[in-house]
Chain A
Amino acid sequence: MGKTLAEKILSKNSGTDARAGDIVIAEVDLVFAQDTTGPLTVRVFHESGLKRLAKPQKTVLFIDHAVPSPSAALSDDHLLLRHFAKEYGVVISDVGEGVCHQIVIESMAKPGDVIVGADSHTVTSGGIGAFATGMGSSDVAVVMGLGKTWFRVPESIKVEVTGAFQKGVSGKDLILHLVGMLGADGATYKSLEFSGNTVPSMSISQRFTIANMAVECGAKVGLFPADNVARDYLIAQGRPNDYQPIFPDVDAEYEQTIKINAAGLEPTLSKPHTVDNTALVRELTGTKVQQVYIGTCTNGRLEDLAVAASILKGKKCHPGVRLIVAPASRRIMLEALGTNYVQTLIEAGTVLLPPGCGPCLGLHQGVLGKGEVCVSTSNRNFKGRMGNPEAFVYLASPATAAATALTGEITDPREVL
């Protein structure tokens, strides 16, 4: 019997014939934490009695959630991480470089890697065929010391996507639709594995968006095959030698198969206060919005900024809306400057933020007021998520977000394209 992507990667890294349901100890190729989980990770590491790091150059601390720091306490957390990095020879990605998951896909993740991060959206690297999953500070501290951890080999759900997206519909709409269909715990402990004739023509950026949100239906990983699109992406990042093809076996065994017709998808969003509370954008048109946020590890890539710029080119945001845009990394910000997307967005009324995570989790920058409504391209809309339990967050694609910024109310992007 053949293997799923999850079984293949965990077999390779554990040196066993890993099958769904097995408990294995697997080598971890890359481990990281960020500035809201890293300080606890460092403290736990010191407490554990582990003296050395297994792979200092494959251990990364990201300062991306509170950047530039909004408070003395968070600045002290940043100092703790910088000090640890220096003492142990760990790689540090400091203020302004970008969101951890974006830096990982640009510069570090390889197809077939096992990656563990102290951040739930570590799953993003599944877009390039890496078994990447989030864990807490204790697990990550132990991985830093031992270079390995235990995994339960997940059962896999095959998501077969066929057909072409309509204009104005993207990978974000697909994953919101899937989370709505499965529910927030519909894939708990499972591997979501994407296939079907839509995949070869799906951009790497959209694959990352989809993989990023696999955790929103509980999944341990969201995996794409590492095909020519993945190869071309790695070449474009200057890492051609990091490519190796990985595909599931044709006779792999899946727990279930879900079929999605991409052509039948419409612009979709998640209503407050859960990600699986999905609806079609056209069912909510007219809802007044005070803030639109385009960015994050979900949708802060060049392709996302290009879509927003194409909708807002030569136009102005609605006067009742604050449009906040944060490219996911310095590299993306530079590319967006080079292509004039930044110019276009600022001319339309955008407030440009440095690469970082702040608004998404309500840490700083763009915190909502009482009763305010935000349409965000991020991945979570739990009560209180954007800093105020009395505010309302709708999750949507960059196209829906930009169309909404233009009109001041939730708008189907097909109306403005």
Chain B
Amino acid sequence: MLRGRAFKFGDSISTDHIIPGRYAHLRSNLPELAKHVLEDADPTFVSRVKPGDFIVAGNNFGLGSSREHAPLVIKMAGVKAILAKSVARIFFRNAINLGLPILICDTDKINDGDELEVDLEGGKVKDLTSGQTLTSGKIPEVMLRILEMGGLIPYIQKYGDFRL
């Protein structure tokens, strides 16, 4: 069970919003890169986010580039899970591969700053501020196994191969 605060974003937050191409020279210097997380969507995010918070977004979060640095800098900021109405395909896979959970649910019902309690296994999001409980959609079994292991690398370190 995870507990934290909701950081609300709108629709279509692209990987360029999350970590723009102009910082490509920092991609091998992750602590510096992470200082620019979500800079083009909300320049105050990096100074306000606290470990344990959740990103709560609208439709098509993470569209665009395949850069895994996007979910990586979000994870480095201490974000424990991303809740969105929908998530772009490559970003979804990248986040799970890093052990960063994604829950697909009706985020319109969550307000910025709400206290949330997230039950990953049960796929439930309880908004402690509003009192509402949301249910999240299912993700493929193989992704659940990768997430359980903490990401693709720990999964491969353990099994050495994919197991369906």
Residues of A that sit less than 8 Å from B by CB: 23, 25, 36-37, 39-40, 44, 47-50, 65-66, 70-71, 73-74, 76-77, 80, 117-120, 122, 134-139, 142, 145-146, 148-150, 152, 184-185, 188-189, 218, 220, 274, 361-363, 367, 380, 382-385, 387-389
Q: In the bound complex, do residue B16 and residue A382 qualify as a contact, i.e. CB atoms below 8 Å apart?
A: yes
Known contacts A49-B160, A220-B89, A382-B16, A65 near B24 by CB under 8 Å: yes
Q: In the bound complex, do residue B63 and residue A185 qualify as a contact, i.e. CB atoms below 8 Å apart?
A: yes
- Please, which residues of chain B bring their CB within 8 A of the CB of A382? 14, 16-17, 64
Interface residues of B in 62-99 (CB under 8 A from A): 63-69, 71-72, 86, 88-90, 93-94, 97-98
Known contacts A40-B69, A71-B25, A218-B63, A184 near B162 by CB under 8 Å: no
Known contacts A152-B140, A189-B89, A40 near B27 by CB under 8 Å: yes
Nearest CB in chain A: distance from B56 CB, A? 17
Contact partner of B25 among A73, A119, A188, A218, CB < 8 A?
A: A73
- Please, which residues of chain B bring their CB within 8 A of the CB of A44? 153
Q: In the bound complex, do residue A184 and residue B63 qualify as a contact, i.e. CB atoms below 8 Å apart?
A: yes
Taken together as a complex, chains A and B put the C-alpha atoms of A106 and B87 apart, in Å, by: 33
Nearest CB in chain A: distance from B164 CB, A? 6
Known contacts A49-B156, A363-B22, A139 near B93 by CB under 8 Å: yes
Q: In the bound complex, do residue B27 and residue A77 qualify as a contact, i.e. CB atoms below 8 Å apart?
A: yes
Known contacts A382-B14, A385-B16, A48 near B88 by CB under 8 Å: no
Taken together as a complex, chains A and B put the C-alpha atoms of A335 and B88 apart, in Å, by: 37
Residues of B that sit less than 8 Å from A by CB: 12, 14, 16-17, 20-22, 24-29, 40, 59-60, 63-69, 71-72, 86, 88-90, 93-94, 97-98, 140-142, 151-153, 156-157, 160-162, 164
Known contacts A77-B27, A184-B12, A185-B63, A383 near B140 by CB under 8 Å: no
Tally of contacts, chain A with chain B, CB under 8 A:
147
Taken together as a complex, chains A and B put the C-alpha atoms of A39 and B67 apart, in Å, by: 11
Q: Which of B16, B59, B72, B162 has the most CB of A within 10 A?
A: B16
Q: In the bound complex, do residue A136 and residue B94 qualify as a contact, i.e. CB atoms below 8 Å apart?
A: yes
Taken together as a complex, chains A and B put the C-alpha atoms of A217 and B20 apart, in Å, by: 20
Contact partner of A146 among B28, B40, B64, B161, CB < 8 A?
A: B161
